[in-house]
Amino acid sequence: MDRKSSTAEKVRFFGDLFCGLKDVYGTYDVETGRNMQVKEAVTQQVFYSHLMGRKPYAVYLLKQETTKAIAVDFDSKEIEAPKSFVEQAAEYQIPAYVERSKSKGYHVWIFGKGEGFPAKKGRLVARFILDQIDAPLAEIFPKHDRLGKYLEYGNCINAPLFGKWVLEGRTVFVDSDFFRAHNDQWQFLSSIKKIDEPLLDEIIEVNAIEDETVQKEESILSDKPRHTALPPCAIRMLENGVSSNQRVSCFRLAVHFNRVGVPYDIALSALRKWALKNTPIHGKTRITNYEIEKQTLSAYEKPYSGYGCNTEAVKPFCDPACPVHSVKDGEKASIVCTDKT
């Protein structure tokens, strides 16, 4: 695969490399940066439009429990972290490739052979490497181990080689030494090496990597008091709506609904009606149904126990008489969104 290859060959090659769910993809408005979800078939035309710079394509990598790629998002223009990640990954015989994202950061890609590998194992190894290079804040895509009842799609990440940005030296793959763009992106992509599940198994076993997710969730549930009713702040927010911090507020309300046992679909419906009460300030628009779905999915995927008492979204609605007002809340809001870089 090189510059002389036909357009159709390049489109097929690209689509096979950056593929995931076949019935949904992400995109964004090139002018405003506004993210959108498109519930349509992911076709060769979608890839072609992306490569030609007409309509961006963002891939939902997670297919049930497998993924054909792991992407680590470093949201900084500094090159030390992505460079260290590539070097550390090489120590475990994992080839990793750096892409300059559309704004200031970098994505590091790891590709899987055939139909890919279990997302859980890929994420465990990626997180292990991030811990070793002391870069715990980098995001890993896919962000989840599996799809399920409350997670229909997961999160998407912008695919490389969007035509408009390629001309500006963005969304292109760079060398891991000097971070200069490869002269022939297609020839470079043809040279990438892929990994398989046995390699991940070996790394996990040799390094005794453990999945701490269950342990952390059990600790959260046991270390903090449980309440079976909505706290006063949530009731006030639901009754009156909010004027700012809509996304954080939506996440917190969804966490409360999940805690008291409200089914996901009922919570989603309630939050859509709640959004109609919101009166955004500074010329902002109301939170969209798509954004509500994203925040609610995030809240329902794990048994969050924090009440967000110290967040700017909750403070205006806090009641000193609230039974959890004095409880130390160490949990930070986890906001789901598509790739920002």
Confidence of residue 305 (pLDDT cuts 50, 70, 90): low
Residue 245 forms part of a structural domain? yes
How far is CA 313 from its chain centroid?
22
Please tell me whether residues 104 and 195 are part of one structural domain.
yes
Is residue 323's pLDDT more than 90? no
Range of the structural domain that residue 246 is part of: 224-317
How many of the other CB atoms lie within 10 Å of CB of 37?
19
Is residue 280's pLDDT more than 80? yes
Residue (of 104, 19, 14, 105) closest to 62 by Cα position: 19
Residue 330 forms part of a structural domain? no
Q: What CATH code is carried by the domain that includes residue 119? A: 3.90.920.20
Residue 104 forms part of a structural domain? yes
Is residue 216's pLDDT more than 60? no
More confident residue, 269 or 227: 269
DSSP one-letter code for 316:
G
Please tell me whether residues 168 and 79 are part of one structural domain.
yes
Q: Determine the pLDDT at residue 213.
A: 47
* Per-chain mean pLDDT for the chain: 87
Lowest-pLDDT range, 146-150, 191-195, 298-302, 318-322?
318-322
What mean pLDDT is predicted for residues 173-195? 95
Q: Give tens-digit pLDDT for 83-138.
A: 999 999 999 999 999 999 998 899 999 999 999 999 999 999 999 999 999 998 89
Q: Determine the pLDDT at residue 106.
A: 97
What mean pLDDT is predicted for residues 291-307? 85
Is residue 177's pLDDT more than 80? yes
Residue recorded with tokens 């779905």? 293
Residue recorded with tokens 């990438």? 192
Confidence of residue 331 (pLDDT cuts 50, 70, 90): very low
| The amino acid at 60 | Y
Q: Where a domain ends, among 150, 177, 206?
A: 206
How many domains does one find in the chain?
A: 2
Angle (nearest 5°) at CA 46 between 158 and 63:
60
Please tell me whether residues 308 and 252 are part of one structural domain.
yes
Q: Measure the CA–CA gap between 73 and 279, rounded to whole angstroms.
A: 34
How many of the other CB atoms lie within 10 Å of CB of 184?
14
Helices 119-132, 80-91: axis angle to 10 degrees equals: 120
Please tell me whether residues 196 and 231 are part of one structural domain.
no
Is residue 73's pLDDT more than 80? yes
First to last CA, the chain: 27
Please tell me whether residues 32 and 165 are part of one structural domain.
yes
Please tell me whether residues 113 and 248 are part of one structural domain.
no
Q: Where are the beta strands (DSSP E) in the chain?
A: 25-28, 35-38, 58-60, 66-67, 69-74, 97-100, 106-111, 117-118, 139-141, 156-158, 172-174
Contact status, residue 156 vs residue 59, Cβ threshold 8 Å:
yes
Is residue 46's pLDDT more than 90? yes
Q: Measure the CA–CA gap between 233 and 229, rounded to whole angstroms.
A: 11
Q: Quickly list DSSP for 62-96.
A: -BTTEESEEEEEE-SS-SHHHHHHHHHHHHTT---
Residue 303 forms part of a structural domain? yes
How many of the other CB atoms lie within 10 Å of CB of 80?
11
Please tell me whether residues 17 and 64 are part of one structural domain.
yes
